[in-house]
């Protein structure tokens, strides 16, 4: 699969969110990463389903909703109705991950499971075959603009090997501290969907920034496949 950038609106200007989304859509983005934070699972608070619903009216992008909330099972239906195309839940946020995965799939949308930097891959053993995407956090979730954690790189390599055997259609997404330099590292390791917040929206020209990150990732992926 071709590598892809999913811009994270967490770093966008919320006073002109629609315009910011249009900007990355026009620059060729296919997926929009939407971070939901509740002030409990992570220290920060972001947005809720109402904003997703408003954005749905102005964008055709694939909405990739990253739930960093406790009791995610309570809100799945609301985010699906608001327009999520894929919902990613944290394995650390629920006691019943298998049930939660089935709950999301039953709504006819894609499902992702996210692991914090220190959470081992073993927890995916009995659910991987059910997933469309695994999100490996490359920062501690909660804030944009943090530094990439390089210890996650061998985890991406290991997951990439497992996925080939168990569920080749499942995508590896990475999130946190992605810029042109780290995009090369994660692509080489096997990541296919790169979330980028600050490196896109805090750049002087977000469209060029997004294209440059994509180009760096593509170059690396090609040399990996050679
Ligand atoms: C962090 C969020 C990320 C965040 C990434 O908890 O899940 O999606 O927006 O931001 P950057 O790319 O700035 O590290
Ligand atoms: Zn995220």
132 counts as catalytic: no
**Does residue 174's CB lie within 6 angstroms of at least one atom of ligand 1?**
no
Say how many Å lie between the CA of residue 7 and the centre of ligand 2. Answer: 10
Residuewise pLDDT in 10s, the chain (226 residues): 699 999 999 999 999 999 999 999 999 999 999 999 999 999 999 999 999 999 999 999 999 999 999 999 999 999 999 999 999 999 999 999 999 999 999 999 999 999 999 999 999 999 999 999 999 999 999 999 999 999 999 999 999 999 999 999 999 999 999 999 999 999 999 999 999 999 999 999 999 999 999 999 999 988 877 6
DSSP letter for each residue of 70-111: SSGGGTHHHHHHHT-SEEEEEGGG-S-HHHHHHHHHHTTSEE
Mutate to test the pocket of ligand 1, among 176, 179, 181, 200 (most ligand atoms within 8 A of CB): 176
The finding on whether 198 has its CB within 6 A of some atom of ligand 1 is yes
How many angstroms separate the alpha carbon of residue 142 from the centre of ligand 1?
Answer: 7
């Amino acid at each position: 699969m071709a590598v892809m950038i999913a811009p994270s609106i967490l770093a966008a200007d919320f006073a002109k969110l629609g315009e910011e989304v249009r900007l990355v859509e026009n620059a060729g983005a296919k997926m929009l990463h939407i971070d939901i934070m509740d002030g409990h699972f992570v220290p920060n608070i972001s947005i809720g389903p109402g904003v997703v619903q408003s954005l749905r009216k102005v964008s055709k992008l694939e909405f990739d909703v990253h739930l960093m909330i406790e009791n995610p099972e309570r809100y799945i239906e609301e985010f699906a109705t608001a327009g999520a195309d894929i919902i990613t839940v944290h394995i650390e946020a629920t006691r019943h991950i298998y049930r939660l995965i089935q709950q999301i799939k039953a709504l006819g949308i894609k499902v992702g499971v996210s692991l914090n930097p220190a959470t081992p891959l073993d927890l995916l053993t009995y659910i991987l075959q059910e997933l469309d995407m695994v999100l490996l956090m490359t920062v501690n979730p909660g804030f944009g603009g943090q530094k990439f954690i390089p210890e996650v790189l061998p985890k991406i390599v290991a997951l990439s090997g497992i996925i080939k055997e168990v569920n080749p259609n499942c995508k590896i997404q990475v999130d946190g501290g992605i810029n042109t330099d780290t995009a090369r590292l994660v692509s080489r390791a096997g990541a296919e969907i790169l979330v980028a917040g600050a490196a896109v929206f805090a750049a002087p020209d977000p469209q060029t920034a997004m294209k440059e990150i994509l180009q760096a990732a593509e170059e690396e992926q090609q040399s990996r496949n050679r």
